[in-house]
Amino acid sequence: MANNNDNLSGADNTFDNFQDGFINAVTANAVAWGIAPAEITTLTNAQTPWVAAWAIAKNKDNRTRAQITAKIEARKDYVAVLRPFIKSRIQVNVLMTDANRLECGVQPQDKTRTPVPVPNSVPVVSMVKTGTNEMALYFNQPKGEDGSSRRGKPKGATGCLIAVLRGGIPGPMPPPNNPDSFTERHTLTRSPKWFILDPGSAGQTMYIFACWINGKGEQGPWGNLNTFVL
């Protein structure tokens, strides 16, 4: 069966078939499922205007604009009662089995949590000088990565983790190659990240490693070392 969200928001004839079977099942099993008579009354009180309005408005060749409006309003009021009832008294009712929920036309909730993936790609990092003592860092997916044309982060990534080392004038010494030794770290959820530079830092070097990070704090692989001359 379709899930209850589809039944509540689909075509009028689909909704009508669903609500009819739903009310019949709930009414017949109210005692076994611990549903109070007052709750049944609330449901049927909302059902009655819908049934009457739909009986008229479903005849597309002989209905008025006022009758269509009455049908729309009756369904709106009915759904406003059905939706919270299904959520609180059907989906999480400990007296009901998943078979009982299917009997009501309601798809049981998926109890299996989808694991949060650890990103396996690496960010592309760029720096732009925006002022005398200011630079902006941008990150995004490499071209061709899944989703790169639509969003700045891959699926599962909530941010970009960067490790930063501010060095001196580039010289013959080899650049650092281990981000674990970089004590300056920033977790970025969006670009740009602004860096305010110390006066007199022109010509110095900023080394940056970057990786994606998911909502559980798990890191993807570090990318290659990025070297920017300030």
Could you read off the pLDDT of 198-227 as tens digits, one per residue?
A: 877 777 888 999 999 998 889 999 999 998
In this structure, the answer to whether residues 11 and 91 fall within a common structural domain is yes
pLDDT value at residue 131: 77
Q: Is the pLDDT of residue 3 over 50?
A: no
Asked if the structure places residue 222 within a domain, the reply is yes
Taking a C-beta distance cutoff of 8 angstroms, is the pair 164, 206 a contact? yes
Q: What token pair was written down for 86?
A: 């299904």
- Determine the pLDDT at residue 208: 93
The residue segments making up the domain with residue 62 are 4-103
Q: Is residue 95 domain-shared with residue 134, that is, in the same domain? A: no
Looking at per-residue pLDDT, the higher value among 132 and 158 belongs to 158
118 within domain boundaries? no
Query: Per the domain annotation, does 206 fall within a domain?
Result: yes
pLDDT band for 170, please (50, 70, 90 cuts): low
Considering the domain boundaries, does residue 114 fall inside one? no
Q: What is the pLDDT of residues 48-77, one digit of tens each?
A: 999 999 999 999 899 999 999 999 999 999
* pTM for this model (two decimals): 0.51
| Three-state DSSP state, 47 | helix
**Token pair for residue 160?**
């970009």
Domain identity same for 129 and 67: no
Among left, alpha and beta (phi > 0; psi -120 to 50; other), residue 105 is: left
Q: For residue 124, give every residue at least 6 positions away whose Cβ sits within 8 Å of its Cβ, in sequence order, or none.
A: 139, 140, 141, 142, 223
CA 209 to the chain's CA centroid? 29
pLDDT bracket for residue 186 (50, 70, 90): very high
The per-residue pLDDT for 126 is: 92
Same domain membership, residue 71 and residue 34: yes
pLDDT at residue 150, rounded to an integer = 45
80 domain-assigned: yes
Residue 79 has pLDDT above 50, yes or no: yes
Mean pLDDT taken over the chain: 87
167 and 210 in a single domain? The answer is: yes
Per the structure, how many domains does the chain have? 2
Same structural domain, 92 and 152: no
- Taking Cα atoms as reference points, which of 50, 59, 48, 47 lies closest to residue 22? 47
Residue 30 or 150, more confident: 30
Provide the pLDDT confidence category of residue 172 given band limits of 50, 70 and 90: low
Q: Residue 102 in contact with residue 1, Cβ under 8 Å?
A: yes
Longest dimension (CA), the chain: 88
**Predicted confidence (pLDDT) at residue 1 exceeds the cutoff of 50:** no
d(CA 29, CA 10): 26
| 69 and 130 fall within a common domain | no
**For residue 91, pLDDT beyond 70:** yes
Note whether 64 and 137 are same-domain residues.
Answer: no
Query: CATH number of the domain that 143 lies in?
Result: 2.60.40.10
